[in-house]
Amino acid sequence: ELTKACFSVVDIHALLFLSFKQDKHFLVAAADFLQGHKAAVNAKLAPNLFRVPGKERAVTHAMVVKSEEVQTPVETTWGAPLVWGDKTSSAWYRAKFAQKEIRTGLLVLVVGTYARFIRRFLSSAEVYFLPGKMVTYYILTDSPSFLDPPIELEPGRLLKVVPVAELPGWDRLFYRRMSLLADTIRNPVGEEVDYVFCADVDQEFVAPVEDEIFGDLVATLHPELYGMPRNAFPYETEEASSACVEEDEGDYYYTSEFYGGLVSEVYKLARACSFLILQDQANGVAARGLEESYLNRYLIDHRPSCVLSPEYSWWDSALAANVPVQRLVSLGRQYFPPTKWT
């Protein structure tokens, strides 16, 4: 058994490389040890499973060890705020927007079996998402009955159901999701709110998400890739894909679980990603990260004006960043035990 007395982090780093071919379970034990030091291991010979609903895929990275200290820079390399909710800069943002009557939309696609998450998602949003602000929940769903009986909302909060056709199978949903978001943002969202945020429904707000998230174009850092080197990011590398990212491109890797901004900016994003996805579909191509690949391609070409830390998109994984506060937690993504590695 690995203990502090027997091995240093450097020792484990070397042993991982030498021992993995003989014993995958050794890798897991070492990773557990490093987790005790608030570090995470990501080995080239041990692919990390990035899970999207209905589809799992292996992504290999170079061997790296995340720092045991949580790094909390408050600015990106291009000068945009990098938001940690309890930082002084976030308090300044909250004060700046506190007196403004901002109308915000929270847009969620709820189809098929994902309807089982909607009540938990909405109940948690009522407590933690922009408390005291005017919020309209836009629920794109093929199962309106899951909202019966209606959830009791706080004053200034509204819920609007946008019916969509049934989209069985994750592959069909992938091709249509960005298009559905763009159409909904154009009408009715664009006429009713100032800002809109898109979120996966299989999540739960567990701590306050307040005015610090406002920005023209807002993206959220992927929790398993925060602090990793650029060559660890699972950008699309197939040149035939419209989502392809060259080796010298990209600053961060963003999650598709939570993003937003001004209605006009999010509409441009959704429309552009939809166009690229449908273009690839016509050519028989699909990016390996599905819509997340196209989202990252767009955000390389249109850098976000506000970047949210992994506090705003976190899930239980051996590779997830250690964050000061978990604010929005995924219930659909999880760490897969070694028996499921391939």
- Report, as residue numbers or ranges, the catalytic residues: 292
∠ CA 287-288-289, nearest 5°, is 95
Spatial distance between the Cα atoms of 163 and 143, rounded to a whole number of angstroms: 8
Beta carbons of 188 and 160 less than 8 angstroms apart: yes
61 is in an annotated binding site: no
Task: Write out the E strands in the chain.
Answer: 41-42, 48-52, 55-59, 64-65, 82-83, 103-110, 134-141, 157-163, 195-199, 203-205, 217-221, 254-262, 306-308, 328-330
Spatial distance between the Cα atoms of 295 and 259, rounded to a whole number of angstroms: 10
| Sign of the four-CA dihedral 90, 300, 270, 222 | negative
292 is in an annotated binding site: yes
Q: Are strands 203-205 and 328-330 parallel, antiparallel or unpaired?
A: antiparallel
267 is in an annotated binding site: no
What's the Cα-to-Cα distance from 254 to each of 13, 26, 119, rounded to whole Å?
A: 27, 31, 26
Q: What are phi and psi of 146, to 5 degrees?
A: -70, -10
Q: Which of 228, 217, 231, 236 is nearest to 308 (CA)?
A: 217
Burial of 25 (0-12, 13-18, 19+ CB in 10 A): exposed
200 is in an annotated binding site: yes
Q: Which residue has the tokens 């159901």?
A: 161
236 is in an annotated binding site: no
74 is in an annotated binding site: no
Amino acid at 167: L
What's the Cα-to-Cα distance from 113 to each of 150, 165, 174, 309, 322, rounded to whole Å?
A: 19, 14, 15, 29, 30
Spatial distance between the Cα atoms of 45 and 82, rounded to a whole number of angstroms: 32
222 is in an annotated binding site: yes
Beta carbons of 341 and 24 less than 8 angstroms apart: yes
Amino acid at 247: E
Binding residues for Mn(2+) are 200, 202
Binding residues for UDP-N-acetyl-alpha-D-galactosamine are 114, 200-202
Binding residues are 114, 200-202, 222, 292, 316
